[in-house]
Structure 1
């Protein structure tokens, strides 16, 4: 089993349930883990034999541009796109953190995690 991860990817986006959140925006941190089996000889040193984390970032960046009310919807859309582009992946885990969510007290972040198993 191979695990490829992208952790701490930072985005500014307009996700949020309240209209003010969709107007003002917020900072988000994204973590993605994908696990898969490969029959390839990884000593061959070919990027085609693995999941390119640059592609994971591009998928995430494209999906983060689509404003949604729920973080769950954003995380699911990222997982769904990864599944379409990499159908051989056994497990996809997407964690999306919203920094300083608009709550009455100090909260570092809120988060959702979507796990997609084959």
Structure 2
């Protein structure tokens, strides 16, 4: 298998369950790794997953506010598979930095690992 990934892509977005989160927004850090068959060397972009394309899909998904981070990672996983049918496995991890919990917490995290 061949892995293509983006690590620590940062976004400012408005995901959150509480009304103030949808108004104020927050910083998010996204890691995405996808796997495709990798039995032969790749010498053309059309034979792989373009990591710029991964970012474009992520940017589109992150722009739509959702109450739960779980919704975001599922949506992103599904959108990547739709754009790149060769994907056989994905791991999407989303961190909300400094979540508004009244405590000193670096980040909350939701991660989805999927086989297709």
Q: TM-score, normalised by structure 2?
A: 0.96
Unaligned runs of 5+ in 2: none
Aligned mates of 1:55, 1:87 — CA distance in 2: 13
Which of the numbers 79, 82, 107 marks the counterpart of 2:80?
Answer: 82
1:16 aligns with 2:23: no
Query: Would the aligned equivalents of 1:9 and 1:31 in 2 still touch at CA under 8 Å?
Result: yes
Q: Report the Cα offset of residue 68 of structure 1.
A: 0.4
Counterpart in the other structure of 1:109: 107
Aligned mates of 1:58, 1:33 — CA distance in 2: 14
Unaligned runs of 5+ in 1: none
Deviations 1:42-80 (A, max 9, x none): 2xx311111100000000000001010000001110000
Structure 1 runs (4+) deviating above 4 angstroms are: none
1:25 aligns with 2:44: no
Number of aligned pairs? 116
